[in-house]
């Protein structure tokens, strides 16, 4: 046998048999990692491509075909110098050369570049970042002991699980008992909890735990064992779905279904691992329950990176043998800070079933985020009661679970029941069933609006409360929907608007503001701001093989000095309005909307033919202004002719405006309207009670009228604010803090001595993470750097800290001020949450050192996004 040259042998080896695997911890402090999409039909082999870039193949990327995790050693330079990224630079140079027509470039170089360029679809630098749990915001009043009837269930806390059987308010519960009576308990269905681990030793979960489809992407081991002191979130969520009958605590909604745990929230994670996590076991797992996301601080506007979008689409197109993974996402807990789920790219994805919360009285809890992407609500904490579920520890139970975090698993449980009887339902069938079977609550809530189809929709409740008693029987009889189709409109360019890769805006149409406000109570002119219309014709729909509408997406490019001032809404041909972006008092970001995609489910089943008019408005603040550069729309629905439908493929990311490969529809700046002098802001009289409300629209009736939007100073909960400002409460609070603080001090002193041993292990773990992160910081990553160019997508710019605005444990000091301003009981910090829940307190609070620092102090290294 002929000897192969050594170098060829090495490259063959690296490309055929990965040198490492995802199970092996990646060492971000010694190597730079990248994801490379190789085109096997291209002229250059994977080995040639990796050689050219000077990287080695580590592994394939989860379930994504032709995607490879590659790495190169860090070039260590002095601490003061920002190291260049030689791989990304090389990639950019080659791509530029390939598209260059410059005569001076030697042809051999050019052909090498061309060869390379047509063989590499995508290259993106991997960075670690932290996903954050949507942990329950604290509720002050104590849960009262409720009396629930027994159903042959001996689980000791079943009577406290009002979300299963609500004796006090029987119209408010997940309504599962009739489904159980018919023998449906989730058998054969697997739900994966993409979370902070899952305690499979808890006797509630032991039997139903699916180890094969579980994985730890934080520590790169097979089992999702909770390790950090506060890793109890995933276990609690899993208990809601699959806690077994007659074991500890309570019972799960689908108590004979299986749960898998995929651990990603217990430390920084790179896109490559998050992408693999969202497809982990995707042939056999039906539902991915995700109670986490970007910060719920009313400031962030973030979504999944291109690689994660690909993984999600891969799950949709190829998961469950092509029926599609069902991604259930918690809408977010930032409502009290003006946050909305349309500013979170996970919750406003058409591929997510987005779940908000209602409490045991059916009221809208102050934390639960509203937006036009909300599909349905599920029951969770508020008005003094929580979700009772399993907890970390062999027999441990949680009585203080809640937030939209706990609403999502309740929805996942109901979907799991349906999947037992109808495993053939596609991801879109599930969404249709949500739309059609949701139960109306709070009939008089002004947030309900009639859709063109005649249904009611609310930004707070979506189409209503998810009800197993209605959902599962309908699912049983459901006829599968026809395949998905879409119609993308050309991009409207207003006033010669342009945006560079570096997000420099020019042109566009000035968004007219109110001038010289005069007194309160006056309404503004509905024609303020900028309007623009896109016309959809029946011919366009026919050409797109389009039968019936489901989701709409609206992508906008807007420059503005203060993003939170901008409001965006769209009105359909039938006159139905979707508020896409409401005012966000805390969002002071100056980078505008560089091609942000909003989504609405409110137009479900509406005839899309006719004029769709977008309306972009601004607040009345001189010197804080902006321009509307352009927009486009995407309509998603079912196919006229199923035989002609094809699977959607993710296009390259648009990094400039007008987009690269999109024939722009140029519209003159004609639709701007100037308008006369008008009023200033005032608050609506009724804000409901702090414990929950059903009397308030999520957004003002007229987005152009700032009259019903509170100002930044007033916040969204003026009543609570007043409470917080009153001296009586203030000094009362101090007294409570003082008394309780002494108790806490004694408690911690004792606990510290007791737990010294246990913690050493956590501390060493934390230490490693910190090393990894500081080395990352050296690569000069900044949160808003999208300037990676072309297909590199968000390569180097992806590192952002995702943190928890309303964690049970206040983890973020930057946040504390904001939180206390809006929420008086937070002033007592540890004390008040401790007072609320005694059982949880012992487990929840620990000395900071064991948290590993990375969640408390993301600091400048992670390019944290919220400071402005
Ligand atoms: C999926 O389920 C099938 C049938 O139960 C089984 O044969 C297969 O091994 C499972 N695959 C995975 C990855 O769990
Ligand atoms: C609960 O389910 C039953 C059917 O099992 C249904 O008739 C009822 O409307 C549902 N909702 C409530 C609140 O009872
Ligand atoms: C739709 O908009 C176009 C121009 O934007 C206008 O000419 C037409 O009359 C509109 N149609 C309706 C039904 O309003
Ligand atoms: C917009 O704001 C800038 C300052 O941020 C100011 O200089 C400019 O005059 C404003 N433009 C208009 C038309 O108000």
Residue of the nearest CA to atom 8 in ligand 2?
469
CA of 175 to the centre of ligand 2 (A): 6
Lowest mean pLDDT among 101-115, 136-150, 581-595, 635-649: 136-150
> What angle in degrees, to the nearest 10, is found between the helix axes of 107-117 and 46-53?
120
Cβ(216)–Cβ(222) under 8 Å? yes
> What angle in degrees, to the nearest 10, is found between the helix axes of 404-421 and 427-437?
110
Lowest mean pLDDT among 222-236, 329-343, 749-763: 749-763
> What angle in degrees, to the nearest 10, is found between the helix axes of 107-117 and 86-99?
110
Average pLDDT on 505-509 reads 97
Cα 457 from Cα 538, distance rounded (Å): 26
Tell me if 623 CB under 6 Å of ligand 4. Answer: yes
Q: What separation in angstroms does the CA of 834 have from each of 161, 334, 670, 807, 808?
A: 21, 21, 58, 13, 9
CA-based angle 151:155:160, to the nearest 5?
A: 80
User: Pick from 664, 704, 709, 665: which is nearest to 684 by CA?
Assistant: 709
What is the per-residue pLDDT for 514? 62
- Residue written as token pair 């995929």: 262
Q: Retrieve residue 652's tokens.
A: 């390259």
Cα 657 from Cα 508, distance rounded (Å): 11
- Residue written as token pair 């009105």: 571
Q: Which ligand is nearest to the CA of 282?
A: 1
Average pLDDT on 22-50 reads 82
What is the per-residue pLDDT for 808? 35
Tell me if 708 CB under 6 Å of ligand 1. Answer: no
Tell me if 283 CB under 6 Å of ligand 1. Answer: yes
Beta-strand relationship, 31-38 and 67-73:
antiparallel
Higher per-residue pLDDT: 660 or 238? 238
CA of 611 to the centre of ligand 3 (A): 6
Tell me if 611 CB under 6 Å of ligand 3. Answer: yes
pLDDT at 719 over 70: no
Confidence at 358, pLDDT banded by 50, 70, 90: very high
Cα 783 from Cα 258, distance rounded (Å): 38
What is the per-residue pLDDT for 86? 85
- Residue written as token pair 């189409």: 463
pLDDT at 787 over 80: no
What is the per-residue pLDDT for 718? 33
Q: How far out from the chain centre does Cα 689 lie?
A: 28
What is the per-residue pLDDT for 84? 74
Domain 485-667: which CATH class? mainly beta
pLDDT at 609 over 60: yes
Q: Retrieve residue 848's tokens.
A: 């900071």
Tell me if 211 CB under 6 Å of ligand 1. Answer: no
- Residue written as token pair 């993308």: 488
Pocket perturbation via mutation, ligand 1, pick of 279, 282, 284, 319 by most ligand atoms within 8 A of CB: 284
Cα 635 from Cα 54, distance rounded (Å): 43
What is the per-residue pLDDT for 103? 53
Question: Which residues are CB-neighbours of 547 under 8 A, at least 6 positions away?
Answer: 482, 485, 637, 638, 639, 640
Tell me if 281 CB under 6 Å of ligand 1. Answer: yes
Pocket perturbation via mutation, ligand 4, pick of 561, 623, 627, 628 by most ligand atoms within 8 A of CB: 623
Q: Retrieve residue 675's tokens.
A: 């308008």
Tell me if 212 CB under 6 Å of ligand 1. Answer: yes
What is the per-residue pLDDT for 620? 79
Cβ(556)–Cβ(568) under 8 Å? yes
Lowest mean pLDDT among 264-273, 306-315, 573-582, 817-826: 817-826
- Buried residues in 62-79 as b, exposed as e (16+ CB within 10 A): bbbeebbbbbbebeeeee
CA of 531 to the centre of ligand 3 (A): 13
What is the per-residue pLDDT for 538? 95
DSSP E strands: which ranges in 697-802? none
Q: What separation in angstroms does the CA of 328 have from each of 291, 678, 702?
A: 8, 43, 31
pLDDT at 275 over 80: yes
Residue of the nearest CA to atom 7 in ligand 2?
469
Q: What are phi and psi of 249, to 5 degrees?
A: 45, -125
pLDDT digits (tens, 9 = 90+) for 119-151: 888 888 887 776 666 655 554 333 323 323 435
CA of 815 to the centre of ligand 3 (A): 47
Q: What separation in angstroms does the CA of 105 have from each of 43, 112, 125, 387, 790?
A: 21, 11, 28, 66, 21
What is the per-residue pLDDT for 135? 58
Q: How far out from the chain centre does Cα 744 lie?
A: 35
Residue of the nearest CA to atom 7 in ligand 1?
284
Tell me if 515 CB under 6 Å of ligand 4. Answer: no
Burial class (CB in 10 A: 0-12, 13-18, 19+), 609: middle
Residue of the nearest CA to atom 2 in ligand 2?
469
Cα 559 from Cα 563, distance rounded (Å): 8
Residue of the nearest CA to atom 12 in ligand 3?
611
CA of 284 to the centre of ligand 1 (A): 6
Please give the torsion angle defined by the CA atoms of residues 713, 719, 722 and 728, in that order, rounded to the nearest 10 degrees: -160
Please provide the CATH number assigned to the domain covering 156-480: 3.40.50.200
pLDDT at 13 over 50: no
CA-based angle 843:327:129, to the nearest 5?
A: 55
Pocket perturbation via mutation, ligand 3, pick of 535, 575, 608, 631 by most ligand atoms within 8 A of CB: 535
CA-based angle 721:722:723, to the nearest 5?
A: 90
Cβ(381)–Cβ(339) under 8 Å? no
Give the chain's mean pLDDT: 76
Question: How many helices (H) and strands (E) would you count in the chain?
Answer: 17, 32
Cα 453 from Cα 459, distance rounded (Å): 17
Q: Retrieve residue 615's tokens.
A: 């309306």
Q: Which ligand is nearest to the CA of 285?
A: 1
pLDDT at 210 over 70: yes
User: Pick from 486, 482, 469: which is nearest to 432 by CA?
Assistant: 482
CA of 470 to the centre of ligand 2 (A): 6
Q: Which ligand is nearest to the CA of 320?
A: 1
Cα 838 from Cα 476, distance rounded (Å): 42
CA of 472 to the centre of ligand 2 (A): 11
Cα 359 from Cα 163, distance rounded (Å): 9
Cα 120 from Cα 794, distance rounded (Å): 16
Helix (H, G, I), strand (E, B) or coil at 749: helix
Residue of the nearest CA to atom 10 in ligand 4?
623
Of the ranges 211-215, 804-808, 860-864, the best mean pLDDT one? 211-215
Pocket perturbation via mutation, ligand 3, pick of 533, 540, 615, 671 by most ligand atoms within 8 A of CB: 533
What is the per-residue pLDDT for 128? 77
In 10 A of CB 15, how many CB atoms? Answer: 19
Tell me if 537 CB under 6 Å of ligand 3. Answer: no
Of the ranges 255-264, 734-743, 751-760, the best mean pLDDT one? 255-264
What is the per-residue pLDDT for 623? 86
Of the ranges 75-84, 620-629, 734-743, the best mean pLDDT one? 620-629
Pocket perturbation via mutation, ligand 3, pick of 532, 611, 631, 672 by most ligand atoms within 8 A of CB: 611
Share of the chain above pLDDT 90, in %: 53
Q: What are phi and psi of 364, to 5 degrees?
A: -80, 115
The string of DSSP codes covering 727-738 is HHHHHHHHHHHH
pLDDT at 22 over 70: no
Q: What separation in angstroms does the CA of 624 have from each of 2, 448, 504, 795?
A: 73, 32, 17, 31
What is the per-residue pLDDT for 3? 46
- What are the residue numbers of the active site? 195, 233, 405
Tell me if 476 CB under 6 Å of ligand 2. Answer: no
Alpha-helix runs per DSSP H in 134-232? 177-181
Share of the chain above pLDDT 70, in %: 68
pLDDT at 370 over 90: yes
Higher per-residue pLDDT: 207 or 675? 207
Domain range summary for the chain, segments of one domain joined by +? 6-125, 156-480, 485-667, 735-762+773-843
Q: Which ligand is nearest to the CA of 169?
A: 2
What is the per-residue pLDDT for 24? 55
Tell me if 734 CB under 6 Å of ligand 2. Answer: no
CA of 528 to the centre of ligand 4 (A): 17
Q: What ligand 2 atom has the least distance to the C-alpha of 177?
A: 5
């Amino acid at each position: 046998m002929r000897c192969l040259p050594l170098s060829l042998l090495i490259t063959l080896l690296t490309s055929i048999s990965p040198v490492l695997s995802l199970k092996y911890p990646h060492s971000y402090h010694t190597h730079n990692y990248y994801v490379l999409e190789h085109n096997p039909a291209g002229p250059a082999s994977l080995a040639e491509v990796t050689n050219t870039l000077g990287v080695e193949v580590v592994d394939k990327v989860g379930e994504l075909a032709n995607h490879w995790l590659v790495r190169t050693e860090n070039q260590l330079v002095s601490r003061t110098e920002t190291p260049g990224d030689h791989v990304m630079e090389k990639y950019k140079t080659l791509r530029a050369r390939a598209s260059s027509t410059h005569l001076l470039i030697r042809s051999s170089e050019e052909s090498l570049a061309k060869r390379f360029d047509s063989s590499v679809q995508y290259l993106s630098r991997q960075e670690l970042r932290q996903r954050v749990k949507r942990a329950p915001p604290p509720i002050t009043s104590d849960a009262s002991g409720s009396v629930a009837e027994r159903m042959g269930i001996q689980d000791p806390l079943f009577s406290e699980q009002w979300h299963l059987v609500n004796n006090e308010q029987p119209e408010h519960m997940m309504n599962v008992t009739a489904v159980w009576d018919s023998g449906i308990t989730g058998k054969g269905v697997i739900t994966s909890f993409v979370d902070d681990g899952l305690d499979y030793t808890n006797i509630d979960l032991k039997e139903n735990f699916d180890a094969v489809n579980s994985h730890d992407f934080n520590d790169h081991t097979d089992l999702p064992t909770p390790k950090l002191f506060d890793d109890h979130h995933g276990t609690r969520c899993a208990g809601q779905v699959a806690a077994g009958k007659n074991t500890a605590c309570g019972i799960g909604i689908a108590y004979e279904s299986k749960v898998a745990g995929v651990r990603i929230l217990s430390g920084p994670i790179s896109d490559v691992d998050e992408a693999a996590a969202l497809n982990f076991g995707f042939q056999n797992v039906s539902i991915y329950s995700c109670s986490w996301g970007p910060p719920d601080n009313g400031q962030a506007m973030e979504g999944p990176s291109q690689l994660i979008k690909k993984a999600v689409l891969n799950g949709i197109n190829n998961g469950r043998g092509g029926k599609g993974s069902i991604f259930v996402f918690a809408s977010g807990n930032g409502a009290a800070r003006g946050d909305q789920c349309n500013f979170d790219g996970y919750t406003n994805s058409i591929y997510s079933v987005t779940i908000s919360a209602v409490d045991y009285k059916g009221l809208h809890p102050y934390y639960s985020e509203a937006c036009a992407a909300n599909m349905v609500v599920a029951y969770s904490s508020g008005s003094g009661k929580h979700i009772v579920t399993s907890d970390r520890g062999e027999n441990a139970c949680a009585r203080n679970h809640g937030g939209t975090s706990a609403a999502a698993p309740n929805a996942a449980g109901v979907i799991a029941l349906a999947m037992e009887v109808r495993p053939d339902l596609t991801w879109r069938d599930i969404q249709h069933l949500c739309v059609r079977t949701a139960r109306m609550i709070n009939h008089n809530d002004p947030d309900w609006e009639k859709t063109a189809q005649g249904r009611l929709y609310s930004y707070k409740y979506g189409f209503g409360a998810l009800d197993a008693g209605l959902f599962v029987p309908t699912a049983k009889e459901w006829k599968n929907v026809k395949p998905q189709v879409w119609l993308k409109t050309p991009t409207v360019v207003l006033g010669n608007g342009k945006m560079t890769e570096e997000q420099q805006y020019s042109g566009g149409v000035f968004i007219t503001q109110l001038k010289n406000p005069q007194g309160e109570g006056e309404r503004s002119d509905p024609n303020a701001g900028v309007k623009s219309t896109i016309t959809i014709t029946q011919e366009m729909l026919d050409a797109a093989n389009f039968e019936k509408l489901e989701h709409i997406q609206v992508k906008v490019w807007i420059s503005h000095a203060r993003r939170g001032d901008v409001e965006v809404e769209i009105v359909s041909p039938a006159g139905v309005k979707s508020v896409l972006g409401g005012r966000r008092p805390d969002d002071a970001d100056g980078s505008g909307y560089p091609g942000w995609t909003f989504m609405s489910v409110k137009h479900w089943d509406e005839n899309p033919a006719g004029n769709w008019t977008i309306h972009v408005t601004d607040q009345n603040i001189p010197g804080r202004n902006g321009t509307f550069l352009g927009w486009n729309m995407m309509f998603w629905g079912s196919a006229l002719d199923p035989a002609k439908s094809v699977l959607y493929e993710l296009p390259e990311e648009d990094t400039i405006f007008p987009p690269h490969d999109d024939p722009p529809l140029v519209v003159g700046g004609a639709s701007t309207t100037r308008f006369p002098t008008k009023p200033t802001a005032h608050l609506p009289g009724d804000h409901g009670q702090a414990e929950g409300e059903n009397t308030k629209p999520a957004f003002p009736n007229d987005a152009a009228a700032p009259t019903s939007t509170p100002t930044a100073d007033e916040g969204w909960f003026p009543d609570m604010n007043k409470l917080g400002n009153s001296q009586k409460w203030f000094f009362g609070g101090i007294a409570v803090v003082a008394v309780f603080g002494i108790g806490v001090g004694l408690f911690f002193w004792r606990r510290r001595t007791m737990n010294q041993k246990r913690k050493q292990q956590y501390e060493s773990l934390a230490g490693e993470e910190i090393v990894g992160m500081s080395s990352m910081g050296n690569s000069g990553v900044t949160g808003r750097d999208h300037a990676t160019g072309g297909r590199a997508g968000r390569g180097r710019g992806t590192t952002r800290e995702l943190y928890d605005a309303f964690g049970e444990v206040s983890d973020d000091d930057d946040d504390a001020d904001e939180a206390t301003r809006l929420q008086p009981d937070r002033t007592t910090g540890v004390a008040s949450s401790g007072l609320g829940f005694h059982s949880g307190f012992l487990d929840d609070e620990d000395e900071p050192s064991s948290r590993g620092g990375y969640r408390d102090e993301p600091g400048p290294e992670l390019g944290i996004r919220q400071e402005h």
